[in-house]
Amino acid sequence: MSSKLEQLQALLAPVIEALGYECWGIEFLSQGRHSLLRVYIDKVDGILIDDCEIVSRQLSGVLDVEDPISSEYTLEVSSPGMDRPLFTLEQFGRHAGEQVKIRLRSPFEGRRNFQGLLRGVEEQDVVVQVDDHEYLLPVDLIDKANIIPRFD
């Protein structure tokens, strides 16, 4: 995780949790002069648009006061959705048994993209079974990971 993401996580997660939500994850996409700060929130019985509005108002106030992002940006508060992104080892562990799509920052065993069954975690590695091969992917190498929704 970059130092900017760590700084934003440390600033925003306590605010989100104080409102009764789980801070599922944060993405900061620097897009030249205008960037996107996307904050995912969750709770046991799901997220509604009103929840996103409540959290967005609170976070906007904190971000205005603390000013951790010097450039222009858009704040987006969202539920993780059906194809929920996975950010932490704990989240990977909670979703063992699901199909996932993972993209790495740099190649591992000659490839950057993996799609298969999430088996769980072992220490600092995410265990993914692709066809008949099991990969232990270092969590620090993961750039993006999402659950593949099932419709059955």
Out of 3.40.50.150, 3.30.210.10, 2.30.30.100, 2.40.110.10, the CATH code matching 89-147 is 2.30.30.100
Average pLDDT over residues 55-77: 93
The answer, yes or no, to whether residue 47 has pLDDT greater than 70, is yes
Q: Which overall architecture, per CATH, does domain 3-78 show?
A: 2-Layer Sandwich (3.30)
pLDDT digits (tens, 9 = 90+) for 77-120: 999 999 999 999 999 999 999 999 999 999 999 999 999 999 99
Q: Is the pTM of this model over 0.85?
A: yes
Average pLDDT over residues 61-72: 90
Domain chopping of the chain, boundaries: 3-78, 89-147
How is the beta sheet containing 34-42 ordered, strand by strand?
Answer: 22-29, 34-42, 72-78
For 41-132, where are the alpha helices, taking DSSP H only?
49-66, 89-94
Average pLDDT over residues 6-10: 93
At residue 65, the 3 state secondary structure works out as helix
